[in-house]
């Protein structure tokens, strides 16, 4: 579990942890907001400086392709 933000508890959801390329401070905030707007996305934590990204979501409500589209729409390359 991350000591700073408390991330690490999935509560039965799917957790994605990966690095992404192309974040700026602004785009990281925009991507986070867009992801949290998807149904079933419960948690997003992005480290813009190194691209580390964590997403907790319910696959029953949101498909992986919907999440990947958010990255594509904001010119961020998600390395899954």
Domain presence at residue 34: yes
Classified as helix, coil or strand, 25 is helix
Residues 48-72 have a mean pLDDT of: 95
Residues 53-66 have a mean pLDDT of: 95
The model's pTM: 0.82
Domain presence at residue 5: no
Q: What is the CATH number of the domain that holds 43?
A: 3.30.70.100
Predicted local confidence at residue 1, as pLDDT: 46
Question: How many structural domains compose the chain?
Answer: 1
Contacts of residue 47, Cβ cutoff 8 Å, sequence gap at least 6: 53
Residues 41-52 have a mean pLDDT of: 96
Q: What is the pLDDT of residues 2-45, one digit of tens each?
A: 544 554 555 668 999 999 999 999 999 999 999 999 999 999 99
The domain containing residue 35 runs over which residues?
14-79
């Amino acid at each position: 579990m991350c000591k700073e933000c408390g991330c690490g508890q999935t509560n039965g959801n799917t957790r994605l942890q990966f690095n992404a390329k192309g974040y700026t401070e602004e785009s990281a905030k925009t991507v986070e907001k867009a992801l949290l707007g998807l149904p079933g996305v419960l948690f997003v934590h992005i480290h813009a400086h190194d691209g580390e990204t964590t997403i907790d979501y319910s696959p029953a409500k949101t498909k992986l392709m919907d999440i990947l589209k958010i990255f594509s729409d904001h010119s961020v390359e998600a390395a899954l």
